[in-house]
Homo-oligomer: A and B are copies of this chain.
């Protein structure tokens, strides 16, 4: 996007931007704003000055851009290309326990070549949200010595782009992935063994997401076990992992220092933002969310964790 000013950016997030069509046991929504970068940037923007890197097509309407603008993250790194925006559709079955993809249209995403604006390249924090490892590498090459790099991935890349994925993993400080992906990637059933294998590949931290069962942060000499905030009703689980990671890295970037305590507190904030996100479709709940709602739920969460 054209912009006349180049603000200071604390955190760069690259990922997918898409229009999702989602069916749950109780509802269906067509062409709602989605993609890993949308969710992660929205979540991070509650805490840090965040710049988005992604691509959309000419069908990506002003309504969607207005949603982004309301969150206040920077759009200088969002390319607009001829063609249609990336689209995904899926259905949640069996009480939300199982997600099945109905269709994926790459569209403009097929030719995406991320280009970072000059003011993004000096950002201290970088989050490579879930996209092809080759694109994550391309972004890494453009950054000038970021202080902290986190990356997410998914089963697809373990299956079709393992070499590039391993190159990414060697260059980052923190890898985040689901428990099933951690097992798949390492061949280890016990998460503590899977994490040890992944730590051996380079990162200082492995953040394993367990959905409704929380997350575990494995570092070289410690582990932090975090349950998930218990929810009464989940409307749409889409973006739970991306908002968790986005809130986490956003809180960490705002803090600036990467200590064990800072990482743990950032996980609480990420978990709370994700817990709000699943209460409605797309970014609807986050759009209405205030920082004070987050702080209140974090305090409630802390009371539930106090031994």
Contacts and interface: CB of A to CB of B under 8 A. Distances in A.
A307 interface: yes
Contacts of A192: 230-232
A139 to B, nearest CB: 32
In the complex, the count of this chain's copies comes to: 2
Contacts of A2: none
B264 A306 contact: yes
A223 interface: yes
A304 B223 contact: yes
Contact of A303 (B95, B222, B304, B306): B222
Contacts of A305: 224-225, 305, 307
Given A213-B213, A216-B230, A230-B216, A225 B190 contact: no
A135 interface: no
A192 B303 CA distance: 16
Nearest to A224: B304
A190 B229 CA distance: 12
9 nearest interchain CB pairs? A225-B227, A213-B213, A192-B230, A225-B304, A223-B304, A190-B232, A95-B189, A227-B227, A192-B232
Interface of A: 95, 189-193, 210, 213-214, 216, 222-228, 230-234, 264-265, 268, 302-307
Given A193-B232, A225-B228, 18 more contacts: A190-B230, A190-B234, A191-B230, A210-B213, A213-B214, A214-B227, A222-B303, A222-B304, A223-B230, A223-B304, A224-B305, A225-B227, A225-B305, A227-B227, A264-B306, A264-B307, A268-B307, A305-B305
28 contacts: A95-B189, A190-B230, A190-B231, A190-B232, A190-B234, A192-B230, A192-B231, A192-B232, A193-B232, A210-B213, A214-B227, A216-B227, A216-B230, A222-B303, A222-B304, A223-B230, A224-B304, A224-B305, A224-B306, A225-B227, A225-B228, A225-B230, A225-B304, A227-B227, A264-B306, A264-B307, A268-B307, A302-B307
